[in-house]
Amino acid sequence: MRIALIAIAASCVSISSLAFVQQPTAPVGETTAERPQTPKPPFPYQQEEVGYSNPEANIHLAGTLTEPAGSGPYPAVLLISGAGPQDRDETIAGHKPFLVLADYLTRRGIAVLRVDDRGTGKSTGWFEISTTQDFASDAEASIGFLQKRPEVDQKHIGCIGHGEGAIIASMVAVKLPQISFIVLLAGTALPGEQVLLTQMARSETAAHLPEEEIKADQKIGKALYDAVRKGKKTAEFPDVDEQFAAKWQKQAERMKSPWIRFFLSYDPAIALEKVTCPVLAIDGTKDLEVDAEQNAAAMKAAFARGGNHDTTIEILPGLNYMLQPAETGLGWEYSTIPETISPKVLEIIGDWIVKRTS
């Protein structure tokens, strides 16, 4: 069987959307609009709408800078969102995790910059034709903005990245030695192709798909991803039943996206090995997008090869990709959980940053 790879303008909603997992929908009546952690004014800190350019890409970036009360200087962090076009709050399934995280950290004396992705919200540019490297360029411009702020402690500027944002955080830390720490939330340390294949198998198993279909999807996925990495226009699947290959026909059209071409081949361990600043990595056992144990082992190996001894890796029981307490870890469940981020995760991040910046 031959599947054609057709060029389209694809926008990737999340890493999981590229694995083509057929997940069940949320049970009727279980979706909740209540988000008790969403901050509400008045706030005991300052908020400022900010804008600046990324001259390398000739685009304008827009975001929000929150600063603790007082004159500073304060330590500061840049929040870097996961895959897909995200607004500055990283709004997902009705949750605003970056708004919650920014509020928590600012109340603990840390300035926080969160930014609309290029081509999203008030930021300009074309998201659809951009790669992880391009988004790293935007993050570098954001760090440059923080470095120009007199109220920011220039010795203590860090990055917090979620999902793909964790990959970007390590890329930026290698490029900019002035980065004093990075926090990786649901970060990966394996090539993108391996991440997607593992993600697909675990998600389909959790969704109780037939074993025959899971095996077929692994075979098709390997062939398709390999074809994309090698720049081929078609991929052949001679021994896969058509009923299992049919669902890939539409998805194959997305494989000419510059983003997926880069993601499939990129190995985050290469940058992680070169990171010299302190690193905190957090993931949950219910994360079906990133295999926590598998990627933690790869991270530890990369840090060991590079000789970075100030690294902390936390795998927390029962948390999903969003770092919420979860039952299944499947994507449909995100919107049904009232909690946006586990308070334990917030506390671990806050304590770790304060310890390294005080």
DSSP H helical segments within 233-307, as ranges? 242-252, 258-265, 269-272, 292-306
Helices (H) and strands (E) in the chain, counts: 10, 10
The per-residue b/e assignment along 186-211, b for 16 or more CB within 10 angstroms, e otherwise, is: bbbbbbbbbbbbbbbbbbbebbebee
**pLDDT at residue 253, rounded to an integer:** 66
Query: Looking at residue 195, what is its pLDDT?
Result: 95
Q: What is the pLDDT of residue 47?
A: 97
Q: What is the pTM of this model?
A: 0.91
Regions in the chain scoring below 50 on pLDDT: 2-30
pLDDT confidence of residue 6: 32
Domains and CATH numbers, the chain: 45-190+267-357 (3.40.50.1820), 192-266 (no CATH)
Structure tokens that stand for 343 in this block? 């308070």
